[in-house]
Structure 1
Amino acid sequence: MTGPAVGAGTGPARAAQEPGPTEASLPGARPADPWFRRIDWEASIWVVLLLAPILAVARSGLAWPVRAGTCTAILAFIALYLHTVNVMPAWTALPEHPSVRAQVAPVSAPLLGLVILALATAPVLGWWTGFFLPYLMAIVLFATPLVTGVSVVMAVCTTACLAALGLSDGEEIWPVLGSSASCAAITIGRISAEVDERRRSTDRQLAAATEREEISRDVHDLLGHSLTVLTLKAEVAQRLVRLDPERAEAELAEIVSLSRQALADVRATVSRLRTPDLAGQMEASRTAFAAAGLRAAVSGRVQAVPLPQREVLSWALREATTNVLRHAGASQVEVELEAGRLRVRDDGVGLRGRAAGNGLSGLRRRVEGDGGELRVLSPLPPRPGSAVQGSQGRPGTELEVEL
């Protein structure tokens, strides 16, 4: 139901005027998607059905101010609905065990506006105002947890059907029943999406458990073999110290070589298991920026980020911190964290004159593997309220991860 924020990945007009590489020139990077690819067509295409009441009202014999007002309300409903479904966070972006306020806050204002616009058409459409019901319930279903969404849909549809039966002569029940049937179909789609998400979550957990088991086996095999060989050679060297010093020295040299190789093998294996912790990485980045003398503004709560998103955002923050400290030459850095999004801005030298390493390419693969998108922009796109802005000669860089 949700789609990426329209315009989030496009560069500013100023970026086209300043020289230097943009996101498209980075190894492993790609240009921002055009606007039509950032629209959630699966949710947006259904507004075509709202052309029917517009045409019906336009061709009616009502006075033109009434027709104009009703058609305007329907068009405003379409515009607000399209905006809402393309920018609102999905239920997967909610924190674990969200409060009622956390569930309702993102959609309460747009839902209120949509309800007002729908009711504005009631004097003309009558019970056919129920035509708007599936659009409202779709937003509720895909922006809230499953239990909350289904409960609201059942309550609203039941109330609408009972009202149509009790307040009309019975004929008006059909448009309400039709809308309720559409809501039921949308509910089935929401349940299917929930099942798919849980299956993906289970697959991720199984993959992590399998990897941990493999690493455990690798560490056991490495240490078991290496320590056994080292022990045997140490015993041989101990016996040869007085009998044959030269052979003992050779054995000791082999022990040193084997120890270094074993240490390298263990480090390589353990690095596969070293998953960064988002809370720890936030604190580590804040400390590193302070130690480097940067003015850092770090905002956001780790608790607001759903658990499945924390690992990839931790990797992204680690990579962004490394790039700022090693390459940016910045004086200010800004870190913004929220559910499904991480943005890091610096006012440094930008990306001109240096080639990106493997870090961004690897991070992009990791982000896209979780169904997200990585955007790296230089010069900085202007953002109202941000204290970090680019300047001539110091265009800055923005790294943004959206899940």
Structure 2
Amino acid sequence: MSTRLVDPRSHAALTPGPWWRRVEWSSTLWILFLLVPFSIVVLADGLSASRRACGLVGVTSFAAVYAWAISTSPPWHSVPPDASLSEQLAPLLPGLVPMALTTALSLPGLGWATGYYLPFLYAFILFTTPARTGLPVVVAANACALWAALMLTPTAEAMWTILGSACATPTIIFARIGDERSRRRLAAEEELNVVRQRERIGRDVHDILGHSLTVLTLKAQVARRLVGRDPEAAVRELDEIISLARSSLADVRATVTRLRTPDLASQVEASRTALRAAEVTVSLEGDPQAVPSGQRDTLAWALRETTTNVVRHAGAGHVRITLAPGLLRVADDGVGLGGAVPGNGLSGLRQRVEAVEGSLSVTSPDPGTGRGTLVEVRLP
């Protein structure tokens, strides 16, 4: 059995809402710098109409392709630590190939000014591959670009165009390293917060049990002394013991419920482990850290329940899990419901989801594959 972790930024596939919410704007806005090569083509003297058209269409197409590729390609932090080199580079091809084609289309109109594309190509590679792969590739490519600028460019203007674009590479590298450090710091802070929360709940349980058991012990001793000489008083003490025990049990259950509330990232790993043990292949799309904190508890409960159902009832060989802000989608290729009514687990999950104004849908067979079951949870 193999587990493949894929985490596309594909807001088109994952993020509900209007199209503008599906674009990775922080990276896409850099295409405004492509106005420079666009203006070069517009203002160039002596270009034929066909070459000028190739240049304009090429620059526009490159900008569109880059925006699409950076918004839909798997980010670097989604690549499994044990992924081979081919597994790391394969997700780049759907973005790099059209970018290479649009670069070739731009050449008749831009010539050496296509060097303005280099920072975009480097950023795409660095932010979609682990540093151990992306950095050597970009450094080697940039070295080749510098060599070409110094040895092959026919004019000083062309040389400085390539050199200027190549010199932007350190900035992109520092941004990539900063992104990785930031994610590691946030992950460490979240893990520390989880530890603190568990310690606090542990103290709550200790305080509740310590106080309650002490009082129960004292009252039991009093009741024992009163059994012989004042049975009615002993009964009153026993009634108070029962009432206190019930109250303490309710407090403990409430505290333990908070303790048992699953963390979404932890539940993702727990689900992968459970499905692996059941010999089920998993495809995971989406990053738990991208889900707003207020939605994580509900989606974690939903993922726990759907994982349990798949392991116990589905008879599936493959499960596809999709995570995004406000969305959990779990699709399996198992036997499906076969007309059976969803059990208490899904009914309880529906109540939990609707309590936060969300919706739960269970579709069998899955419309996308024609078999199995599709469970979808959407939160506002």
Q: So what's the TM-score if we normalise by structure 2?
A: 0.72
**Are 2:116 and 1:131 aligned?**
yes
> CA offsets, 1:58-110, max 9 Å, x none?
44423323332333333322222121122223223333454333422222221
Contact 2:220 2:238 in 1 (8 A): yes
Q: Secondary structure at the match of 2:167?
A: helix
State the shift of 1:136 in Å: 0.9
Contact 2:24 2:70 in 1 (8 A): yes
> CA offsets, 1:231-253, max 9 Å, x none?
22222222222222222222221
Tell me the equivalent position of 2:19.
35
**Structure 1 residues 96 and 268: CA distance shift in structure 2, 3 A:** farther
**Are 2:301 and 1:337 aligned?**
no
Tell me the equivalent position of 1:46.
30
Tell me the equivalent position of 1:265.
251
User: Can you give the 5+ residue segments of structure 1 that lack an aligned partner in the other structure?
Assistant: 10-31, 286-297, 323-333, 350-355, 365-374, 390-395
1:100 & 1:228 partners in 2: Cα distance?
61
**Are 2:115 and 1:111 aligned?**
no
**Are 2:72 and 1:87 aligned?**
yes
**Are 2:181 and 1:195 aligned?**
yes
Amino acid at match of 1:177: L
Contact 1:316 1:401 in 2 (8 A): no
Contact 1:344 1:400 in 2 (8 A): no
Amino acid at match of 1:75: T
Give the structure, 1 or 2, with the largest relative contact order (CA under 8 Å, sep 6 or more).
1
**Are 2:353 and 1:359 aligned?**
yes
2:73 & 2:92 partners in 1: Cα distance?
7
Aligned length: 345
State the shift of 1:226 in Å: 1.3
> CA offsets, 1:122-170, max 9 Å, x none?
3553332211111111111221223433332222112210222233357
**Structure 1 residues 301 and 218: CA distance shift in structure 2, 3 A:** same
Amino acid at match of 2:91: P
Contact 1:121 1:129 in 2 (8 A): yes
**Are 2:224 and 1:230 aligned?**
no
Contact 2:85 2:133 in 1 (8 A): no
RMSD: 4.5
> CA offsets, 1:206-263, max 9 Å, x none?
2111111111111111111111111222222222222222222222212211211121
State the shift of 1:173 in Å: 3.0
Report matched runs for 1:2-401 at 5 Å. Answer: 5-6=11-12, 8=14, 33-58=17-42, 59-168=44-153, 171=156, 172-276=158-262, 277-278=267-268, 300-301=282-283, 313-318=299-304, 336-338=320-322, 342-344=328-330, 359-360=353-354, 362=356, 384-385=368-369, 387=371, 398-400=376-378
State the shift of 1:321 in Å: 8.6
1:37 & 1:384 partners in 2: Cα distance?
24
> CA offsets, 1:6-34, max 9 Å, x none?
3755xxxxxxxxxxxxxxxxxxxxxx533
- Report which stretch shifted further, 53-62 or 224-233: 53-62
2:273 & 2:181 partners in 1: Cα distance?
35
Amino acid at match of 2:255: T
**Structure 1 residues 190 and 50: CA distance shift in structure 2, 3 A:** same
State the shift of 1:181 in Å: 2.4
Amino acid at match of 1:5: H
Contact 1:74 1:117 in 2 (8 A): yes
State the shift of 1:179 in Å: 1.0
Contact 1:335 1:342 in 2 (8 A): no
Amino acid at match of 1:132: Y
State the shift of 1:182 in Å: 2.3
Q: Secondary structure at the match of 1:79?
A: helix
Contact 1:96 1:306 in 2 (8 A): no
Amino acid at match of 1:107: L
Amino acid at match of 2:238: L
Contact 2:282 2:321 in 1 (8 A): yes
Q: Secondary structure at the match of 1:300?
A: strand
- Percent identity between matched residues is 38
Tell me the equivalent position of 2:314.
none
> CA offsets, 1:164-185, max 9 Å, x none?
2233357243112211222222
Q: Secondary structure at the match of 2:116?
A: helix
User: Can you give the 5+ residue segments of structure 2 that lack an aligned partner in the other structure?
Assistant: 1-7, 309-317, 342-349
Q: Secondary structure at the match of 1:121?
A: helix
2:170 & 2:306 partners in 1: Cα distance?
44
- Report which stretch shifted further, 130-139 or 102-111: 102-111
State the shift of 1:111 in Å: 0.9
